[in-house]
Structure 1
């Protein structure tokens, strides 16, 4: 069961990652992941920092969009969900995406992005 929280209650790791992700600042974003982290986006799974770096680099240049944090939830001690409203030049132009974070030792062990 998840509990809605204020964005200010998110762990620093998540807020810093989201800021770097939104700014398309690759190295600071990547620095929040464990070496063996897993990221899932658009039906693709990326394992380890090398694959995650390639995914972040590719996705940051593919489309132009604005991203706004509209909700946050704490699922349990190490899992959080953030919901983002995106508008841009990607197919469909508008979408709300859930970023499901699993943290380990204050770094991202897993990130799943889904509608």
Structure 2
């Protein structure tokens, strides 16, 4: 599967539970939408993923990437009810970083 480099880095950071490396995949003013909440900027994104890592220990297995739509379908596993689940990651990129991410 041919993923953008920043998405490969994001998956690697997630699987290593590395909140700083995860946040470094995002632009300074990036936005993440997840579970009905919105996170603004790298620091908020780092705090969000750090809390999620501690709570759920989520790992990602990319299944399909739709390049034109900038959508990744991935199987996520962790310490949460219903694990594993297939989630959809909708990206917008800017200067080779993630500008926005919506997880559904």
TM-based fold match above 0.5: yes
1:29 aligns with 2:22: yes
* 1:104 correspondence with 2:97: no
Distance 1:10 1:67, change over 3 A: closer
> Which runs of no fewer than 5 residues in structure 1 stay unpaired?
1-6
In the TM superposition, structure 1's runs of 4+ consecutive aligned residues that sit over 3 Å from their partners are: none
Q: TM-score, normalised by structure 1?
A: 0.81
Point out the structure with the larger strand share.
Answer: 1
1:44 match:
37
| Structure 2 Cα separation of the partners of residues 23 and 40 of structure 1 | 22
Cα distance in 2 between the residues matched to 1:86 and 1:99: 11
1:59 and 2:49 matched: no
What displacement does 1:66 show?
4.3
Q: Displacement of 1:57 after TM fit?
A: 0.6
Structure 1 residues 107, 46: CA separation in 2 closer, same or farther (over 3 Å shift)?
Answer: same
Quick check: which has more Rg, 1 or 2?
Answer: 1
Q: Helix, strand or coil for the counterpart of 1:75?
A: coil
Return 5+ residue gaps in structure 2 as ranges: none
